[in-house]
Amino acid sequence: MDDLSLSASMEDYLEAIFHIVLESQVARVKDIASRLKVHKSSVTAALRNLAEHKLINYAPYDVVTLTPQGARIAQDVVRRHEALRDFFVQVLTIDEPLADEVACRMEHAMPRTIVDRLILFSEFLEICPRAGKKWIRGFQHFCDDALAQQKCERCISMCLEDVKQKQAQGGAKMTLPLREMKPGQKGKILAVKTTGELGKRSA
């Protein structure tokens, strides 16, 4: 049933339509063109293509919406995009505009398995007391000057203190962020974060 392998270009169009529809209910050629920085004529061609694949509802001179199939694929692309962007921003501390732009170009080649893992990893970094925001600040230090941080023992002690404290006050052991569970292959549980926080998008 699934049309495996949509070209990177078509994925970009689908993604753009997804975001525009989210904002304005329907997408118009003009908006898609300006969002993707492409000529209107290119958009028309792409729309014909996507319509043939039954991924969008479209007739000449009409506005565009996604079919259920199209929405499914679009969300998948968006998920890849956001997984990458969020990793770049939150972990590698890359500035958003660059992270977003690069995510938009890299997203097309990512298989589900790796996206799932990347999302889980980002979550793990948030949740694990040995990692967390402070630890990432430690990474930034490391980037600024790889030789400066030597006080590992003290760093870990403080980390341990933090955990004891949290354990004492907050009754709950550990709070997982919102996630949707679904059976992954091989019986493993894989996180599926569909759509994260908003931000500038490049598609």
Partner DNA sequence: ATACAATGTTTGACAATCAAAACATTAAGA
Partner DNA sequence: TCTTAATGTTTTGATTGTCAAACATTGTAT
Q: List beta partners, residue 56.
A: 66
- Verify binding: residue 156, a copy of itself, rule CB under 8 A: yes
Q: Angle, to 10 degrees, between the axis of helix 152-169 and the axis of helix 132-144?
A: 160
Please list every residue from 62 through 91 that binds DNA, using CB under 7 A.
Answer: 62-63
The answer to whether 184 and 190 are in contact (CB under 8 A) is yes
Residue 152 binds which of a copy of itself, DNA, none (CB < 5-8 A, kind-dependent): a copy of itself
Question: Which residue lies nearer to a copy of itself by CB, 28 or 117?
Answer: 117
| Residue 117, binding choice from DNA, a copy of itself, none, Cβ under 5 to 8 Å by partner class | a copy of itself
Binding mask 29-68 for DNA (x = CB under 7 A): xx------xxxxxxxxxxxxx----------xxxx-----
Q: How far is the CB of 171 from a copy of itself (least distance, A)?
A: 13
- Is residue 85 within 8 A of residue 110, CB to CB? The reply is no
Judged by CB under 8 A, which of 51, 67, 139, 196 binds a copy of itself?
Answer: 139
**Bridge partners of residue 183, in order along the sequence:** 189
* Residue 128 to residue 147: CA distance in whole angstroms: 25
By rule CB under 8 A, what count of residues binds a copy of itself?
53
What's the CA gap between 24 and 27, in Å, rounded? 7
Buried/exposed code over 28-64 (b: 16+ C-beta within 10 A; e: otherwise): ebebbbebbebeeeebeebbebbbebebbebeeeebb
Q: Quick one: tokens of 81?
A: 């995009």
CA distance 111 to 38: 27
Chain positions contacting DNA, by CB under 7 A = 7-10, 12, 28-30, 37-49, 60-63
Chain positions contacting a copy of itself, by CB under 8 A = 88, 91-94, 98-99, 102, 105-106, 108-111, 113-114, 117-118, 120-121, 124, 127-131, 135, 138-139, 142-147, 150, 152-153, 155-157, 159-160, 163-164, 167, 173-174, 176, 188-191
